[in-house]
Chain A
């Protein structure tokens, strides 16, 4: 039963991943990330993703602050932030976030404030979506690990 659970969880995980891939939320970089996770670093993916979340939230906050500032003019700084965001997003394979970042950066390069605001909203939305889905994924992963942990020794 439990063994079955593990399989089911794995299938769920795969389905979720497939969906995310299909939607373009994630790309193969995420798979590579997963491949890097092995016995030496069992929580590698969640570790990286957590760092990503921390950094991203910081960046998003900064961006929002910069944009909401009345006499806002520091597009350069915003560009640096966005580059960071883009870099980290592409590292974990958050494809859609990255794409929105590209658009955001294009808007900021053109000093297009309304465009930037729109992009920021979109970015936040994408980011939230990604965060929720990844949390969901990690929960399933956790459950799966737990389920795997109670594996019957006879199966080996």
Chain B
């Protein structure tokens, strides 16, 4: 499923890619979104994974194992958190990308828009200007080609001021457009500049001397340098200007950038805040919950529920707070988006205003420049006139020349409609002038209309008599009609002329309507002086020097129109030009009455006339469009906010839901745990309750069977009894399981004899093993100490379970072999010292009779594997002294466990397969209990099994080393018997090494020394080769295994032995060694046959165990026993107790009498008392008693109290003797009084034992007396004393 999803995402991705490719211009967009898609895919895949995880967890949690339900829940929580985090991260990335894209687009658009505009404008202007200056030079050269060099030089010099502009502008533009080509272009420029210079002087060469060209060149060079320096200067200036401009632009851009960065930062902070606010309660709750959990574990269920409610409350409050969070977030988002809208709009307006100002200023400056260019040209014309008209005699210029020149250079003054030259004529010279020119000075028709085209000069009246006149003598063709008209007669013109000649500069009229074009125009007037005047000449000097006036009319609208035409984006703004000399009533020079569109920018115009002021008013043609970028951006933010809000809302809802679920689960878990505990308790109680009546049932059944019953009835009763017994054992097992589960099973720690425990197990199963013909054996390694401290019952239970299982599943002849070793013994297979272990670790097949070196000859599984997986806890030295770890192995040759069932073998109520219970019975609880018990004992259990071969179970268990002295009496049954057989010697003849070792182990326990022969033949040779005295003399018995017994060798062996007997070594040996056959099961026929033949003296039935051996040997050494007893008894009980005065304290007459009788039998002198008080009185020193046997349960004063009082008395006496207060004579010469007091008790419990010791008793004996016990108890006091 995951793969499928992945591919669909991939498909989607590919399709997107193709679509993007198709719409070529969105490739950029794709490159931005590509990573986003990848992230998207990743997130999706993650999600699906998580889903899967959740699903599997769900499966687990629905499992009935409620204990584990907690874990997956945690896990899913965790996973969910991660998913949330991922989602947030993804969104964050998306939003940042979005914002970045936005700002990038904005910036780019702005830049791209503005820079080319500016560049283009400048380039065009540059071109024009350059053309102008070039054309001017061309014109000059072509017209005045004949004129001499000096004048031309002068002219060029004079007109130099026109030239630098081109350079300046070009340089400025170059720096703007491309810094790289700047130098090259400039050089070209310079060359171009120089070329015309070169061209100019060439035709003059004829007239000049030979030095001319050189001079000229020098001049041109110097000029070149001059121009260079000026150009550099102005370049510098312009550059500065430019820098300022670009800086202004850059600021705008910076502003924009900083804004976007700010936005991103704000977004980041918001996200951080949101993430933190999402995380914090989670973290807090986690911590809190952990703490609570710890508490919960310690507190009972009721309080847990309370706490659960508390958790609920707190989570509720947290939930409320969390629910408010998305609303707050959305509100903040809305406010943010509104603020963004306002801010962006503001920004756009600001930019608009700036753009307008820039454009307006630019236009104004250009207009000014162009106007100035024209003005300069007119000025140049004035100088031309003064040079060639007045400076020459006769004049080089007439109307025709002037007209032609002006006509041809009209392109240089595109804005002037016409140029005219008027001569200053005083009244005194009027007639002479009129005569000279052949026309009269005429007056202007109307005062304010000059340069009227349609009026014919002839029709005009002659001028009125005035002080002086300014009749037009030269005029451009276009205005030729104004020749002879007196300029001083018009009011405007007169003022103009007067101002012009006084100031020596170009002077403008106020705007007025030009007659012909009906355009608004102005007239520019320059005065022509006869001499070269200083710049600081007084107006009087100027007036006197005035020769004439050159006037040019400007058509302002066309001027502006043309200018605007040159500029791009002319259609976006409306330009109005006003003459604002009179502030109150500005005169409109250009422009339409456009509607007010809000924004207005006013730039000052300086047309070179300080008396007049002009302004340019710019406004946008259209109203500002709606700020789409701002709207989209804020809209985007708004939408994102809403989306995020929705996501948070969903997330928080989800959190709440999960929390709710978690709480429910916790509740359920608590309930389940409570139910579990209740179940165990119920089981324990009910099992116990069942057990009691079952005992009654069993007892009654037992009694019923004792009555007179016919065989049928007896059979029924027997069956019922057996079933009842089974039921009891089952109940016991269930009870154990329940106890372990509810943790109520506690292990005892009492010292016990491990070997005796194993003997018990053997005797339990001996019947079964006989019935099945299975050989059963136990072996305990020498290194295992005799006494260990632990729980013998539970230890026995484990072994019983394992052996029981093995017996159950071993059908044919085979064996079950229990061996106990120290866990340290099996650390490495190489350094195994124990013979049995070494043998059992290597399976060797003996091909001669197709058997293996195992107990019964059947193959077994490799037992090493069964404990291979155990943790090898290397016992340190400290551990070695305190605890020992035993490894118990139970090996069988049964059917084995099927491999598929091996993993669930330790699960309660699970058997290998369901047919097992049908075939073999049982509940399958035994192994589970065993495992739990082993766990309790700090060990491990393991097994290895091969179907058909058998199984081997191993377990380890930790025990403490025990003192032999501390061993309870219960375990000392055989102590006297062991001493009976001390020093005997027995030959064991057995073909199997392991079996021989097992026999040796058992015999060693009795203190019997053992020799082993592996066959009868070798036994024969062993016996015959050894001299009679040394080997066979002490040989008491020969134990022959039945497996190697056959009639032929058996008889031979018998004969050998009888031969030894008859060899007359009677002085050493009264009895020849007896031959005992060690059998597993033997039919009575065989038995009698062998016995009657007199070949063997008896049979020893397997499984070998101490009690069996003892009875057997006692039987075998029947006479010897008597003798031994006779020899030993005096040294034992009778010897000890003979003539000893013993006080018996018992309230029960029967007990008293019995005890008396029992002790009297050993020769003791008995005194009986029947109460504790009497005993205290009797034992008050001095007294002659050697010991006291005291019953514990007596009325009035019980045994404990009596002992305490006796000890107190003794203590006093001892103190007295020590201090010398009383002489020893008074107390029968006894230095230290301490009468041994032995408790007599019917129930031997540990607690009673301790109680006895506490109150000062020395030991205790079980009632009724048993010889062995009595001996061991009494021996302590009397042997030493």
Contacts and interface: CB of A to CB of B under 8 A. Distances in A.
Contact of A48 (B1153, B1161, B1191, B1193): B1153
A41 B1193 contact: no
A92 interface: yes
Contacts of A55: 1148-1150
Interface string A79-110: 01001101110111100000100000000000
B257 to A, nearest CB: 96
Contact of B1264 (A23, A84, A91): A91
Contact of B1195 (A22, A37, A80): A80
Given A24-B706, A83-B1193, A51 B1150 contact: yes
Contact of B1263 (A23, A80, A90, A99): A90
Interface residues of B, number: 23
B1157 interface: yes
A90 B1242 contact: yes
- Majority SS at the chain A contact face: helix
Nearest to A89: B1150
Interface in A19-43: 22-24, 29, 32-33, 36-38, 40-41
Interface centre among B1150, B1157, B1195, B1242 (most CB of A within 10 A): B1150
Contact of B1150 (A24, A38, A44, A92): A92
A65 interface: no
A32 B1264 contact: yes
A87 B1151 contact: yes
B1148 A88 contact: yes
B1264 A88 contact: no
B1154 A92 contact: yes
B1150 A40 contact: no
Contacts of B706: 22-24
Contacts of A24: 702-703, 706
A29 B1264 contact: yes
A83 B1147 CA distance: 11
B1148 A87 contact: yes
Nearest to B1155: A91
Given A36-B1158, A90-B1264, A48 B1195 contact: no
Contacts of A29: 1264
A34 B1191 CA distance: 22
A88 B1193 CA distance: 12
A40 B1160 contact: yes
Contact of B1148 (A22, A36, A47, A84): A84
Interface centre among B1154, B1193, B1242, B1266 (most CB of A within 10 A): B1154
Interface in B1236-1264: 1242, 1263-1264
Tier of interface size on chain A: 20 to 34
A99 B699 CA distance: 10
A52 interface: yes
Given A84-B1147, A88-B1150, A92-B1150, A48 B702 contact: no
Interface centre among A37, A83, A87 (most CB of B within 10 A): A87
B1150 A91 contact: yes
Nearest to B1240: A87
A6 to B, nearest CB: 25
A19 B1242 CA distance: 26
Interface in A41-64: 41, 44, 47-48, 51-52, 54-55
A81 B658 CA distance: 69
B1191 to A, nearest CB: 8
A86 B1122 CA distance: 36
A38 B1157 CA distance: 10
Contact of B1149 (A36, A51, A86): A51
A51 B1149 CA distance: 7
A51 B1161 contact: no
B1157 A36 contact: yes
Contacts of B1160: 36, 40-41
Contacts of B1150: 48, 51-52, 55, 87-88, 91-92
B709 to A, nearest CB: 13
A48 B1157 contact: yes
Interface string B1171-1199: 00000000000000000000101010000
A122 to B, nearest CB: 11
A22 B1161 CA distance: 28
B1212 to A, nearest CB: 32
Contacts of A92: 1150, 1154
A83 to B, nearest CB: 6
Nearest to A92: B1150
Contacts of B1149: 51-52, 54-55, 88
Contacts of A86: 1242
B688 to A, nearest CB: 14
A41 B677 CA distance: 62
Contacts of B1154: 33, 36, 48, 91-92
Interface string B902-934: 000000000000000000000000000000000
Contact of B1157 (A44, A87, A93, A99): A44
A87 B1195 CA distance: 13
Nearest to A52: B1150
B1242 to A, nearest CB: 6
Contacts of B1242: 86-87, 90
Contacts of A88: 1148-1151
A37 B1153 CA distance: 12
Contacts of B1263: 87, 90-91
A41 B1242 CA distance: 25
Contact of A47 (B1153, B1158, B1265): B1153
A41 B1160 CA distance: 9
A27 to B, nearest CB: 10
A47 B1156 CA distance: 12
A36 B1151 contact: no
Interface in B1126-1166: 1147-1151, 1153-1154, 1157-1158, 1160-1161
Nearest to B1157: A36
Contacts of A83: 1193
Nearest to A37: B1157
Contacts of A23: 706
A52 B1157 CA distance: 14
Contacts of B1158: 32, 36
B1168 to A, nearest CB: 11
A20 to B, nearest CB: 11
Contacts of B1266: 32
A51 B702 CA distance: 30
Contact of A51 (B1153, B1193, B1264): B1153
B718 to A, nearest CB: 15
Contacts of B1147: 84
A37 B1264 CA distance: 15
A44 B1154 CA distance: 9
Given A48-B1154, A51-B1149, A84-B1147, A38 B1264 contact: no
Interface string B677-702: 00000000000000000000001001
B594 to A, nearest CB: 120
Contacts of A90: 1242, 1263-1264
A51 B1161 CA distance: 19
Contacts of A51: 1149-1150, 1153
Nearest to A24: B706
A92 B1263 CA distance: 11
24 contacts: A23-B706, A24-B703, A24-B706, A32-B1264, A36-B1154, A36-B1157, A36-B1160, A36-B1161, A37-B1157, A40-B1160, A48-B1150, A48-B1154, A51-B1149, A52-B1149, A83-B1193, A84-B1147, A87-B1148, A88-B1148, A90-B1242, A90-B1264, A91-B1150, A91-B1154, A92-B1150, A92-B1154
Given A36-B1160, A48-B1150, A88-B1149, 9 more contacts: A24-B702, A24-B703, A55-B1150, A84-B1148, A86-B1242, A87-B1150, A87-B1191, A90-B1264, A91-B1264
Closest 7 CB pairs of A and B: A88-B1150, A36-B1157, A52-B1150, A91-B1154, A51-B1149, A48-B1153, A91-B1151
